[in-house]
Amino acid sequence: MLSDSQNQDSRRAPMLAARLRKVVGVLRRRMLREAGIGELTTAQGSVLLRLEQNGAGTVSALARAEGVTPQSMRITVAALQAAGHVTGRPDACDRRQTIISLTKGYRRWMSEARTIRQDWMVRRIEMMLTPREQETLATTLSLLDRLGED
């Protein structure tokens, strides 16, 4: 049998999860809007981040890494190519494969957008949070880091 404290905690977790998801979504959309970045799908954002962190790769390798079918990845990559975010070139070792990489223009644009988002967030924290609230935020971020760990 659950104690009153455990029962209250089990009812609180779903509410906290929903609120956290909402807050993260609002902050994400606001930062993207501040930086002039249009909405990307989750899949597109994930592929761009993977290419940025791991370097170029084939559609098949990206699909495996993202846990999707190659057909789904081709659709995602095609949308990113149409937007000018990625480019493809034939693999020198296997001409049947195409190596997907970020465009120089996208890298430059994303760097500038990150700077804008960072500056916006710094201004908001300084303007809206007291020093004590900033300490609370620092503690909260440590907890959020733990939630994101594998």
Q: Could you list the residue range(s) of the whole structural domain that residue 4 is in?
A: 1-34
Q: Identify the CATH number of the domain in which residue 127 sits.
A: 1.10.10.10
**What is the count of structural domains for the chain?**
2
Helix, strand, coil % over all residues of the chain, rounded to 5: 70, 10, 20
Task: Identify whether residues 17 and 78 lie together within a single domain.
Answer: no
Residue 45: what pLDDT? 87
- CA dihedral of 101, 65, 113, 38, whole degrees rounded to 10: 100
Residue 5: what pLDDT? 61
Burial pattern 43-75, b for ≥16 Cβ within 10 A else e, equals bbebbbeebeeeebbbbebbbeeeebeeeebbe
User: Which residues of the chain are modeled with pLDDT < 70?
Assistant: 1-7
Residue 41: what pLDDT? 84
Residue 33: what pLDDT? 83
pTM of the model: 0.68
For 123-138, write each residue's pLDDT tens digit. Answer: 999 999 999 999 999 9
